[in-house]
Structure 1
Amino acid sequence: MSNFTTPWLDTGDNAWQLTAGSLVALQSVPGLVVLYAGFMRSKWAINSAFMAFYAFAATLITWVLWAYKIGFGIYMLPFAGRPGPVVTIAQELKQSELPSAGLQQNFPLSTMIYFQFVFAAITVVIMAGAFLGRMNFTAWMLFVPLWITFSYTIGAYSLWGGGFLFQRGVIDYSGGYVIHLSSGTAGFVGAHWIGPRLDVDRLETRPSNVLGVLVGAGILWIGWNGFNGGDPYAASADAGVAVLNTNVATAMSLLCWTICDIIYYKKPSVLGAVQGMITGLVAITPAAGVVAGWGAICIGFASGTIPWLSMNVMGKKVAYFRKIDDVMGIFHTHCIAGAVGGFCVGLFATAEGCAAFGISNAGGAIDGNGRQVWLQIVGALFVIGWNIVWTSLIMLFIKYVCRIPLRMSDEELMAGDDMVHGEAAYALGPCEAHEHLLAGHYVKRSETGPGELSMGGVTMGHDPHVGTSDSSPRAGEIKV
């Protein structure tokens, strides 16, 4: 075995970067795969999980063939690098650098390519949460590489790769804008173009597996240590700050969301707690290593209350928000929370934190640099505007130029996984009389044959004797 090494390689930095990237990858596969499958009705568990699973793979091939260089390559436009492949051994072994930003890292380019890939992948996986339960899978297969190419890479280059927002000093520590604001905006806009689920699926909001949701949420939370801890591109002191602040803000957000549920709905909801956890993770992301611990607590308070209000008040009282079928509430948990976090950077960033991160910003408003607030607003408006336009263009291109329907047929929407994929998520046994249960359809108890196991649908998380006419939401549930 060769002991070959290079003078620029820091094995500790490389080890942490690969570990951080793997933690982020676990957030998508299996984290959100499991969370989506558990959150949806059983008849959509396979399709929901598969949308995330496919997006992870499709993004990687897109990434290494042309997209990485658009996001992190040589200058081509103020918001985009020059596209090209990164698949030769010479490229993979050389020292990592971001040429437009004038930065080098003490690990190989292959490590940087992988680390940035897992961020790109989780962005489209998050966005899928707005499209679950009705998007045509063929349309999704085409949408993923197109959106990564024309939308994700633009935000990545502009804010991280050395583009115009980077040069102007907009701070996005680890993706509050590049990942969450963009996926939240694109998810909402895409849901508009795709159209809603069937009414029966929108009315029945009980998850098929709440414990599965919690498993996915737990992977998401702990995986976020790599998400924010990896963005100094070094095993530095600031990486430790980012990890601690991430967990502090998330815990505060979860507590605030739960308290809001208790005050408003008179009971705590574990699904609500998961939403509060997610908004905390999202809001601290643009700020993680540049704010102090007390700033993280303030951000957690904001992310546990403002997105709660947008989801549970605005989302239910404003007609347009009720019309748009954003299944997982991605607009509230990622767009609103990402905007809140980005704004808070302008308020709470510290000069010491910025210096530890390696940027020259003089902190935020608390350090007398009120201009940072306006920079953060400008950055948010660019990301929102770009995603509104390009998500719409891509959806319309798929529908009208490629002639691929964005939404499944009504027949497929009624049948679910069984018709779309020929597979069922929960194989409960060989009883043919109840095969239709596996696709998410329920029968009255009186239809159970003599001597057969009477499941009555309760096993699937739905008692068929309870009517669905009462559509009043329970605590923490997304009701649109």
Structure 2
Amino acid sequence: MSNIDTAFPPNLLPDEASPEWFNKADNAWQLTAAALVGLQSIPGLMILYGGGVKEKMGCEFTITWGYRMSFGSKLLPFWGEANVALDQEYLLDQAFLGKFPNATMVYFRSVFAAITLILIAGAVLGRMNIYAWMIFVPQWLTFSYTFTAFSVWCPDGFLAKMGLIDYSGGYVIHLSSGLACYTAAYWVGPRLTKDRERFPPNNILLMLFGAGLLWMGWTGFNGGDPYVVSNDASLAVLNTHLCTATSCLLTWVALDIIFFRKASAIGAVQGMITGLVCITPAAGKSQIQNSELLQEVDDTMAVLHTHAIAGSLGGILTGLFAEPKLNRLFFGSSGHYIGLFYGFDDKSRIGSGVRQMGVQFIGILFVVFVNVVTSSIICILIRLVVPLRMSNEDLEIGDDAAHGEEAYATWGNGERQENSFYRGSINPKMELSVSTNRAARQAEKT
């Protein structure tokens, strides 16, 4: 057997490793952007949320059946045909957009699916049953995420054909995750009263470190969506950081000082996330100078506010400020992609600007409907099989301790809390605390 035969797999000769359509620079940047998005999830969001969310099923879902349902052949106007994305011939073929192989696109899109899941987890941290979560993940990805991804991002999707502008996931990632997490939080129920009354971060330095990884990782989140090393990618990255800095430092911190008389690190992080999400739908479509029931449900990390609402606002502002020249740069032709304000400037395109605003609102309504309905159905079905919510005993000691792990040991000489399923081995101090709280609840009932 020759060296060529051993160095390359069947049907892939050396001169075919870089076919005519293949662009090495674009491929290298796309892989880098995907790695940056991956760092946003683990360790970024994992550190920011305080640990405990180690869900990697997003990647497995994507490469097995989810990618083709999101970006493959059309089955329905809002859904693609289910098919695996592991076939070598398919992976080495050119992606539907970009001068790189499907393998790169599958990787890039898998990290987007994964981070969406972790965002959802942020609203039910510390109280959703782990078994219920393991059932929820593949069901939601299959019957909710693929609907919005295909409809908005796939060229055959009905919202894409209508001209919806969602540059990098304001609708597909942030509005979807914000609504799904809020719906799931409703069905799971709130935290314990004492946790809702006082829920300070256990380590602000770690929180800021995670937030910094999230911010820097957003360079790949928005910069990778032109699928090409271009002026548009550069503009998207610059817009991302400028909008985030404005939201974090000039707006949110200023509001903290005005209303609470002091700046807050937690407030700055919330402002940072809001800015990142808000610019996402329009990162490469707007000029730099244009970048600018809730009490009833327990949303632990305020994902609805910082993602769903910010994502919706970003989508609406995109309909106002989408710049025709930049749309032409991204879509190949401006067509009917034009912000309402630019439509007013060009009197002949006022109708197109009004239409764009309508499409942006239709997209919001579609994502709201899909996520509220599917998330509710999934949660209702899951609780027929396993409890959605952790037991009160496990809620008392915390979800990490319930699984025999402790992020921070706060008693003794650093020993860890034993698994809550084995009550006899629970740390005596914690045993007393749980028993006391249980007795107090029983006294209240009687």
Same fold (TM over 0.5): yes
Q: Secondary structure at the match of 1:76?
A: strand
C-alpha RMSD of matched pairs (Å): 2.3
Matching residue of 1:257: 252
Matching residue of 1:335: 308
Q: Secondary structure at the match of 2:75?
A: strand
Structure 1: give runs of 5+ residues left out of the alignment. 38-48, 98-103, 299-319, 448-480
2:388 corresponds to 1:406: yes
Q: Give the TM-score taking structure 2 as reference length.
A: 0.86
Q: Secondary structure at the match of 2:244?
A: helix
| Distance in 2, Cα, partners of 1:412 & 1:222 | 35
Which among 216, 222, 233 is matched to residue 228 of structure 1?
A: 222
Which among 107, 116, 120 is matched to residue 127 of structure 1?
A: 120
**Do the aligned partners of 2:218 and 2:276 also contact (CA within 8 Å) in 1?**
yes
Displacement of 1:371 after TM fit? 2.1
Matching residue of 1:323: 296
Aligned AA (2:88): I
**Do the aligned partners of 2:240 and 2:279 also contact (CA within 8 Å) in 1?**
yes
Displacement of 1:429 after TM fit? 8.9
| Distance in 1, Cα, partners of 2:195 & 2:84 | 42
Matching residue of 2:380: 396
**Do the aligned partners of 1:59 and 1:121 also contact (CA within 8 Å) in 2?**
yes
Structure 2: give runs of 5+ residues left out of the alignment. 1-6, 9-13, 344-352, 421-426, 433-446
- 1:375–1:69 CA distance, 2 compared to 1 (3 A): same
Aligned AA (1:221): W
Please list, as runs of the form range in 1=range in 2, the aligned pairs for 1:164-243 lying within 5 A after superposition.
Answer: 164-243=158-237
- 1:196–1:429 CA distance, 2 compared to 1 (3 A): closer
**Do the aligned partners of 2:33 and 2:223 also contact (CA within 8 Å) in 1?**
yes
Aligned AA (1:105): G
Which among 289, 294, 315 is matched to residue 294 of structure 1?
A: 289
Displacement of 1:374 after TM fit? 1.4
**Do the aligned partners of 2:163 and 2:337 also contact (CA within 8 Å) in 1?**
no
Moved over 4 A (4+): 427-430, 434-439, 441-444
Percent identity of the aligned residues?
48
Which among 392, 402, 410 is matched to residue 420 of structure 1?
A: 402
Residue by residue over 1:283-342, the C-alpha shift from the partner in whole angstroms, topping out at 9 and shown as x without a partner, is 00000001001112x2xxxxxxxxxxxxxxxxxxxxx43231100111110111011100
Matching residue of 1:72: 71
**Do the aligned partners of 1:27 and 1:122 also contact (CA within 8 Å) in 2?**
yes
Matching residue of 1:21: 34
| Distance in 2, Cα, partners of 1:442 & 1:373 | 61
Query: Number of residue pairs matched?
Result: 400
Matching residue of 1:456: none
- 1:431–1:341 CA distance, 2 compared to 1 (3 A): same
Q: Secondary structure at the match of 1:408?
A: coil
Which among 367, 383, 399 is matched to residue 342 of structure 2?
A: 367
Matching residue of 2:278: 283
Displacement of 1:139 after TM fit? 0.6
| Distance in 1, Cα, partners of 2:298 & 2:170 | 23
Q: Give the TM-score taking structure 1 as reference length.
A: 0.80
Residue by residue over 1:366-415, the C-alpha shift from the partner in whole angstroms, topping out at 9 and shown as x without a partner, is 21123211111111111011111000011111112xx1110001111112
Which structure ranks higher in relative contact order (CA pairs < 8 Å, sequence separation ≥ 6)? 1
